[in-house]
């Protein structure tokens, strides 16, 4: 069996730990199509937070408390940059993490596409799945905000890390999405998939930028594989992260029904055949979509693998 997962960073990475475990138990192959909208160039380095969250988590090297970056990280580079007054000082580059960005930026500068760079980095981390960025082209999430009485678009990282999303926020823009093509291998993986899973990732700033690549979205929507999503919202709570702020901006209810409706039914204008919600959200209705309720707290690899089994069951491929 071939499983394709559309994923963001921390939530998606934890989900993929369960996907990998379940896939191993049945001899399935897993390809993760990873969001690049969070990517940013800082201090001359290309930083890919969602790719790195997935790579470090599956490589057993992620910091479990912070969720992003490396466990056992040190911050000498960050302190030294601050002593030069080198902006932005609000963004932290860990020393170990910096080595990843150096290798990545060197390879990109030499002309390798991000998909090949990612494959090269994964030779070290052996994530046990195939990781592909949604696109090799530039695609960045920017956020239209009001700061100091001025309306402007800032990078998603500035919105989240500098302002913690606590600024009047109007909309999210996926800069470059119109021209972006799926990265090498993405369309092939979707065409060969037995099932496409949408991870319990942030629907607005992790999954939407992936689907903003039109050919990628069309391939999922019109492809042969059933599409099942997993709700990132449990009992009206985003568990951790900023999904509530993002959904508020879109005027979408922070609920399993709200996010399910945002993705919509594949039989209509949307994407989903099935929608997995938590047991506290049993009774959730998404028109045109099969909904099933199972525990969705990713508290262990086993618990998460059970979610995956339920998702494949809902897809009719278990």
46 and 39 Cβ atoms separated by less than 8 Å? yes
User: Of all helices (H) and strands (E), which one includes residue 51?
Assistant: helix 49-58
For residue 1, the minimal CB distance to ligand GDP (Å) is 23
- Residues in a beta bridge with 151: 146
Residue 206 interacting with Ca ion (CB under 5 A)? yes
Of the candidates 189, 266, 188, the residue with the CA atom closest to the CA atom of residue 227: 266
Residues 6+ apart with CB under 8 A from 84: none
Q: Which of 5, 9, 70, 190 binds Ca ion (CB under 5 A)?
A: 9
Residue 140 interacting with Ca ion (CB under 5 A)? no
Q: Which of 21, 167, 239, 254 binds ligand GDP (CB under 6 A)?
A: 239
Distance CA 61, CA 170 (A): 36
157 binds, among ligand GDP, ligand FO1, Ca ion, none (CB under 5 to 8 A by kind): ligand FO1
- CB closest to ligand GDP, residue no: 11
- CB closest to ligand FO1, residue no: 92
Residue 9 interacting with ligand FO1 (CB under 6 A)? yes
User: Of all helices (H) and strands (E), which one includes residue 301?
Assistant: helix 301-315
* Cβ neighbours of 259 (radius 10 Å): 29
Specify burial of residue 179 (Cβ count, 10 A radius: 0-12, 13-18, 19+).
exposed
Phi, psi of 6 (to 5 degrees): -90, 125
174 and 141 Cβ atoms separated by less than 8 Å? yes
240 binds, among ligand FO1, Ca ion, ligand GDP, none (CB under 5 to 8 A by kind): ligand GDP
For residue 210, the minimal CB distance to ligand GDP (Å) is 11
Q: Which of 157, 169, 255, 304 binds ligand FO1 (CB under 6 A)?
A: 157
Distance CA 310, CA 303 (A): 11
47 binds, among Ca ion, ligand FO1, ligand GDP, none (CB under 5 to 8 A by kind): ligand FO1
- For Ca ion, the binding residues (CB under 5 A) are 8-9, 38, 50, 206
- For ligand FO1, the binding residues (CB under 6 A) are 8-9, 38, 47, 49-50, 52, 68-69, 91-92, 97, 157, 160-161
- For ligand GDP, the binding residues (CB under 6 A) are 7-12, 50, 53, 199-202, 206, 231-234, 238-241, 243, 296-298
């Amino acid at each position: 069996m071939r499983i394709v997962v559309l994923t963001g960073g921390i939530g998606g990475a934890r989900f993929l730990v369960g996907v990998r475990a379940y896939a191993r138990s049945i001899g399935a192959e897993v390809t993760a199509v990873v969001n690049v909208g969070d990517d940013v160039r800082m201090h001359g380095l290309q930083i890919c937070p969602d790719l790195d969250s997935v790579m470090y988590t599956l490589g057993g090297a992620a910091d479990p408390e912070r969720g992003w970056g490396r466990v056992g990280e040190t911050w000498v580079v960050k302190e030294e940059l601050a002593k030069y007054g080198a902006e932005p000082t609000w963004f932290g580059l860990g020393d170990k993490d910096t080595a990843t960005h150096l290798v990545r930026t060197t390879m990109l500068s030499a002309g390798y596409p991000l998909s090949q760079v990612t494959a090269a980095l994964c030779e070290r981390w052996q994530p046990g799945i195939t990781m592909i960025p949604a696109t090799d082209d530039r695609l960045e999430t920017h956020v239209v905000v009001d700061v100091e009485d001025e309306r402007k678009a800032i990078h998603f990282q500035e919105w989240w890390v500098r302002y913690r999303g606590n600024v009047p926020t109007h909309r999210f823009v996926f800069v470059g999405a119109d021209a972006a093509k799926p990265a090498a291998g993405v369309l092939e993986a979707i065409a060969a998939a037995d099932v496409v899973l949408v991870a319990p990732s942030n629907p607005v700033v992790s999954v939407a930028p992936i689907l903003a690549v039109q050919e990628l979205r069309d391939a999922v929507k019109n492809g042969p594989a059933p599409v099942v999503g997993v709700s990132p919202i449990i009992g009206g709570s985003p568990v951790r992260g900023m999904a509530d702020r993002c959904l508020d901006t879109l005027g979408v209810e922070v609920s399993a029904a709200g996010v399910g409706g945002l993705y919509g039914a594949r039989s209509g204008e949307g994407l989903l055949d099935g929608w997995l919600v938590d047991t506290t959200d049993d009774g959730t209705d998404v028109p045109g979509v099969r909904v099933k309720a199972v525990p969705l707290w990713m508290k262990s690899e086993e618990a998460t693998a059970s979610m995956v089994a339920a998702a494949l069951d809902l897809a009719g491929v278990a």
